[in-house]
Structure 1
């Protein structure tokens, strides 16, 4: 079985049974497969207006609940790329997100996301107690580099406000097709995305015979803004399957978050995280 979408209504006749048993008996899957799917975020419990992932097969069910199973064998069999801890600030942490790791889960799974990986593994790395994980900004699945996660609701609220008001300095680098040294430094691109004003600043860093390394600063935060702006000015990012050159699939997307700088809203301490050269994109 490759994919299965299943909904079970809970009433007085079945509320005493385990969720894993109910789902297994209503599908061609074993209890072991159901429990694995639960741990990886494929099972949802709908209760009133609430809808949450169900991970414990033993959680009591109530009449009026609904169980949802979104089973995708291919996704469930995948293993996540492993992020690297850069800094543990207790209420927040900074990580290197590798290419291919999602920032958040889908209705099918969440074990392939950085927030779930950190939630289940951070205590093993840090030697501290388990901590909740709150996502306060995002990188595309294909974008690698520095990402900040929060571990208290207060920190998540404050950092979210800082990202929204652009009080956190974020810088990126990209490897593009062509010779970007012909473009003036601090080159401002103002081109609307989805009919919204969008601005980016690009600067040449280095080049070889085919590609250029470019520094990027975003003045706005539209979806795929860097990719769209570089493509618009004739320098598509290497490996960009959406906005790049046709047939350009020899490398992963060459886009990376390389700097995060901010004053912590809780401790008031200034931080400046710059991605180590060993983790940088190479021409």
Structure 2
């Protein structure tokens, strides 16, 4: 069942009672679960937030947006893993199947929500993203100042981000010698550098080490699909690249230097979390 409905509050009361009256096809139990998982947005003027508590009071003039999808709300995945806590920022392992952040349909399977629950009262800001099907290192900030600093480093290409990617087929010698794809995406310049780690002729796969220079949406997946070497397990781009083990894309290394500091922060995904060793 999938329901998307905006409700204007006419009379003050409790959120779950209003929702139950306006959406009778959902029980209060289902509504409470949906609210807890972030599927209800409350708005008052310019204010907006996810309304999680069923007993939250709402006032006349408030707006409630319910986006209910029982398939999405029932999904589960492995938990994220906190790999490094530097107090003002932290580094996490995002498992496949987990969103980087929530959307209008909920946030129970997002790293941001998971980190909020694990870290208590600390603020959480997303610095970059990984596709839902991908796994690997993801960086979060815990203050507006640090979020701005890290975002600027990312935008100025002063963060070294490395990935391992399993693609279909054997890359030509000419493509390997060039070692870079600069095809524009969405009309914007972007660059993906790569080198061969191993070719598996029996499976007709190639494992690549990737350095991402820019950060366009689905850049790695789109670039290699355009070259005729789609990422294995990618449900969106490429052909004949099905893989029951999932998307063959993992963020494995991250390094950067904060302004005014000598220390270089360098993180590698632990071997036990790596897909390809």
Whole-Å separation in 2 of the counterparts to 1:53 and 1:132? 15
Distance in 2 (alpha carbons) for counterparts of 1:138 and 1:247: 23
Superposed displacement of residue 272, structure 1: 0.5
1:207 corresponds to 2:199:
yes
Q: Return the match for 2:61 from 64, 69, 78.
A: 64
1:181 Cα deviation after fit: 7.3
Could you tell me whether the CA contact under 8 Å between 1:238 and 1:251 is conserved in 2?
no
State yes or no: 1:184 paired with 2:202: no
- CA deviation digits over 1:166-222, x for unaligned, max 9? 111101110112224734356122211112222211101112222111011122221
Q: 1:43 & 1:130 partners in 2: Cα distance? A: 22
TM-score (norm 1): 0.89
Corresponding residue for 1:126?
Answer: none
Pick from 173, 180, 195: which aligns with 2:187? 195
- Pairwise CA distance, 1:223: 1.3
Q: Spell out structure 1 runs of 4+ moving beyond 6 A.
A: none
Residue 255 of structure 2 corresponds to 261
Q: Look up the match of 1:218.
A: 212
Q: What's the C-alpha RMSD, in Å, of the aligned pairs?
A: 2.0
Q: Count residues with an aligned counterpart.
A: 273
Consecutive unaligned residues of structure 1, counting only runs of 5 or more, are 124-128
Residues 61-210 of structure 1 correspond to what in structure 2 (within 5 A)?
Answer: 61-120=58-117, 122-123=118-119, 129-180=120-171, 182=173, 183-185=175-177, 187-209=179-201, 210=204
Q: TM-score, normalised by structure 2?
A: 0.91
CA deviations 1:33-83 (Å, max 9, x no partner) are 222211100111111123221112333322211112111111112224311
Q: Matches of 1:200 and 1:116 in 2, distance apart?
A: 30
Q: 1:20 aligns with which of 11, 16, 32?
A: 16
Give me the whole-angstrom Cα distance separating, in 2, the residues matched to 1:175 and 1:151.
33
Tell me the CA shift for residue 268 of structure 1.
5.5
Q: Which stretch shows the higher mean deviation, 248-257 or 169-178?
A: 248-257
Aligned match of 2:223: 229
CA distance in 1, matches of 2:121, 2:262: 25
In 1, Cα distance between equivalents of 2:187 and 2:273: 35
Structure 2 gaps, min length 5:
none
Change in 2 beyond 3 A, CA 1:247/1:174? closer
